[in-house]
Amino acid sequence: MLGRLVALDTTVSQHLHVLAKPFLPHSLLLLLELSADFRFFFPLSLSLLLAPIPDPSPTQILRPLLSPLIFGLLLDLAVVGLIKLLFRRSRPLYNKKMSVAVSVDHLSFPSGHSSRVCFVASLLHLSTAALTDALANLRSASPFVDRWIGADEVNAVRILVSVAWAWAVGTSVSRVLLGRHFVTDVFTGACLGVLEALVSFHLLRF
């Protein structure tokens, strides 16, 4: 039974890759791949946490997110790495010639990119109320921010969360279309990312 499911997963994933390959905007998808890489995302988040931020500053709205974000990124790295070592599923064999934006390991299940982007999008979604309050306080203290978002910080945060989810979905789908992962790798990674966001948000509630 498991063998049949794996075979079906491989067939469907390869079919999607072959269908999409002639139409793929490769540069955009490689940019999505790079934007979700741990080696880019973690140092940037850590730098924002440690850097002195003037008061008021637009960067301040990110402050409430940074502790759970960094914790979740480390949790994701550990969980995904452990599962990959346990299952040791190889990456798709039908796309060996595809160039990659960053070096990758040879293990496929689950997708670390999918878990990471869905973690970030989920954390932003869960933090909507805190971000709205932070942006409202910043708007009252900064004329620049007031002119930028007007009087509707709720809508500004909604747009931010929507963009994050669009990035997460686009990056996750691209993993299959680029031939980096199978469908189940991406689906499992996305579910892990949501769970990691719930854990990080509730453990480091702000």
* Of 6-20, 40-54, 77-91, 177-191, the least confident: 40-54
202 is catalytic: no
Work out the number of other CB atoms within 10 angstroms of the CB of residue 35: 15
What is the rounded distance in angstroms from the CA atom of residue 181 to the CA atom of residue 115?
13
Whether the CA torsion 195, 200, 203, 206 is positive or negative: it is negative
Q: Are 134 and 61 in contact (CB under 8 A)?
A: yes
**Most confident by average pLDDT, 71-75, 90-94, 125-129, 193-197:** 193-197
15 is catalytic: no
- Residues near 164 by beta carbon (within 8 Å), at least 6 away in sequence: 120, 121, 124, 125
- The catalytic position among 26, 106, 125, 181 is 181
- The catalytic position among 15, 17, 26, 113 is 113
pLDDT in tens, 24-35: 777 777 788 887
Mean pLDDT over each residue of the chain, to the nearest integer: 81
Q: How confident is the model at residue 115 (pLDDT cuts 50, 70, 90)?
A: very high
Is it the case that residue 153 has pLDDT exceeding 60? yes
Instruction: Cite the beta strand spans of 5-147 per DSSP E.
Output: none
Note the helical H segments in 56-111.
63-87
Report the SS3 class of residue 25: coil
Is it the case that residue 74 has pLDDT exceeding 80? yes
Is it the case that residue 197 has pLDDT exceeding 90? yes
**Most confident by average pLDDT, 21-30, 102-111, 147-156, 162-171:** 162-171
